[in-house]
Amino acid sequence: METPSFRNRRTTFGENAAAYQEARPPYPAVVYDHLRACIPFAGARIFEIGPGTGQATRILLDHQPEELTAIEPDPRLCAYLAEYLAPTAPHLTVIPASWEDAPIEAGTYDLGIAATAFHWLPQAEALRKVHRALKPGGWWAMWWNVFGDPNEPDAFHLKASPLFAQLGESRSWQQGQLPFALNRTARLDDLHAAGFQDVEAFFLRWNITMTTAQISALAATFSQISAADPAVKTHILHELAKLADQEFGGIVERRFMTALYTARKPPRSSGALERR
């Protein structure tokens, strides 16, 4: 259930957009390969919910869609997108609004996406609006980079967990619970309940080598750290850096995951909706 504090945290990421863009690792190329197998990006009408600094947006724009409408609630990130992407992408439109409030024409889009963003929304209501926005037969994709593997946590993750436990609740990863993106049953149930068909989930495990500086920079982009009291934020980042330096020699092997969910709005010719 959404709370005011979670809604406010949607706009914590624009404080230092350039640092966020630099710190966040890119999404694996296989995500885009899979989406292009569903629907070509070239010539498509696409909307993106919560583009942030445009990591996924850039990839989509490279394939020359007819239109890409980006809905972003943080005005600082809207300004960042307008400065760094819009001048070379005339088919990009940035709407400064939350998804709930965005003026989106029904039955218009071939593809909708959300990259590490959809957990900030009330799922049932937001997915119903996604469904309405798509053309019959249009595709929806939502995916996340998950910074840790709960089934096989790496050594740094295990040692750093007590530090994160001191912070407030994370929307994407709460202590003692399956991360939002990895809760396959809940995510698939939400998509089916919204009327989608051809619903699938894909999980990719990957490793990355990070320096102490990269560990600190990535952690600084997490919502529960960026929203923390400045003294608490400084303390946590200092302790993470100390841990990386003293116990891992400044080079840390991390285990991350990417979770991808795809679904299709039934074509007009389809009969009864698929039921589970």
Q: Per residue of the chain (276 residues), what is the pLDDT tens digit?
A: 444 444 555 455 657 789 989 999 999 999 999 999 999 999 999 999 999 999 999 999 999 999 999 999 999 999 999 999 988 888 999 999 999 999 999 999 999 999 999 999 999 999 999 999 999 999 999 999 999 999 999 999 999 999 888 776 666 555 557 899 999 999 999 999 999 999 999 999 999 999 999 999 999 998 888 878 889 899 999 999 999 999 999 999 999 999 999 999 999 754 443 333
Residue 29 buriedness (CB in 10 A; 0-12 / 13-18 / 19+): exposed
Asked whether the CA dihedral 30, 36, 42, 47 is positive or negative, the reply is negative
The predicted structure's pLDDT at residue 9: 52
SS3 233: helix
Hey, where are the domains in the chain?
4-150+173-207+256-264
Which of 81, 106, 274 lies closest to 195 in space, CA to CA?
274
* CA nearest neighbour of 113 among 144, 89, 80: 144
4-150+173-207+256-264 CATH choice from 3.50.50.60, 3.40.50.150, 3.40.50.2300, 3.30.365.10: 3.40.50.150
pTM value is 0.90
For residue 148, the model assigns a pLDDT of 93
- Residue 178 backbone phi and psi in degrees, to 5: -65, 130
pLDDT at residue 268 in the model: 79
Angle at alpha carbon of residue 224, lines to 223 and 229, rounded to 5°: 115
Predicted confidence at residue 169, as pLDDT, reads 61
* pLDDT score at 124: 97
Strand 251-264 and strand 134-146: the pairing is antiparallel
pLDDT given for residue 89 in this prediction? 87
